[in-house]
Amino acid sequence: QGTFTRGIEMRGFITVLLLSGCSMAGAAEQPTIEVSAMSEIQVVPDEVILYLAAHTRDKHLSIAKRDNDEVTTAVMEVFPRYQIPDEDIKITDLDLTPDYGQFNSRSETPIAYDFVRSMRIRLTNFDHIEPLLSDVIQAGLNDVKRIHFRVSNQRKYQFEARKLAMTYAREKAVHLTELTNMKLGSPLRIEEGIESNWDAGGFGGAMVRIEPDRPQGDQQQIQPEKTKLMLVALQKDKTKDEKSARILAAPGQITISAQVTVKFAMSPE
């Protein structure tokens, strides 16, 4: 009986120690505050990327390729007129698609071949955008996929936006802490939101498609297509010309943002 009683007393002593330890841990817990903040800065883009494509079609693959080679060569001869460095001109894709006709009347062999060669051109002089596009279209290009204004030094502006977001976060934390009669301490944890500054990589995204004239009837799928040029008519008035050029060369501004969540320690004043 004496042994049994001492066992009960020992278990009780251990329980008291554990409860006391929990109480001490709770008393030592550091009060904290967590805040989130977001910043945005506006930046004028300093480069534009033109995504162009030469699209040819014929019932013979060799002719579709030959026509595409001729158009691409003529287009490439335009770029030196605008002093575009070779490293800013890049062929990005080559796509060959056989056409077997409509879904409900498909042929066992291709009735035509679509040959597409895509290219990417970088410009830093925005005054060249409109005349360059006019010249490449006159050279035979029939697809302007995208006009993409960008900031070349995104990292610099991302740092500025992040620094501003951290400033906002601290200001908010200081204010909230003062309202509770506490003092703000050091940061305990910092989290940054996933950067989604798609406009920092590009701005806008105008798309122009030059639709070809299509023959009627059964010959629609196999006859070479004639390009319908959709050119901007230049004004006779020099003043109007200069005004139009300024409008085309004004890309606006790009928004670069940053978002942070910061957990701060707090202490009584």
Tens-digit pLDDT profile for residues 92-147: 999 999 999 887 888 888 999 999 999 999 999 999 999 999 999 999 999 999 99
Pairing of strands 89-99, 254-268: unpaired
- Residue 210: helix, strand or coil by DSSP? coil
Instruction: Give the pair of three-digit tokens for residue 264.
Output: 């701060």
Instruction: Give the pair of three-digit tokens for residue 37.
Output: 């903040």
C-alpha–C-alpha distance, residues 76 and 40, integer Å: 39
Contacts (Cβ under 8 Å, ≥6 apart) of 20 = none
Higher pLDDT, 192 or 103: 192
- Residue 192: helix, strand or coil by DSSP? strand
> Residue 103: what pLDDT?
79
Contacts (Cβ under 8 Å, ≥6 apart) of 47 = 122, 123, 124, 149, 150, 151, 152
> Residue 243: what pLDDT?
52
Contacts (Cβ under 8 Å, ≥6 apart) of 256 = 40, 41, 43, 151, 154, 157, 158, 160, 161, 197, 199, 200
Torsion-angle region of 255 (φ positive above 0: left; ψ -120 to 50: alpha; else: beta): beta
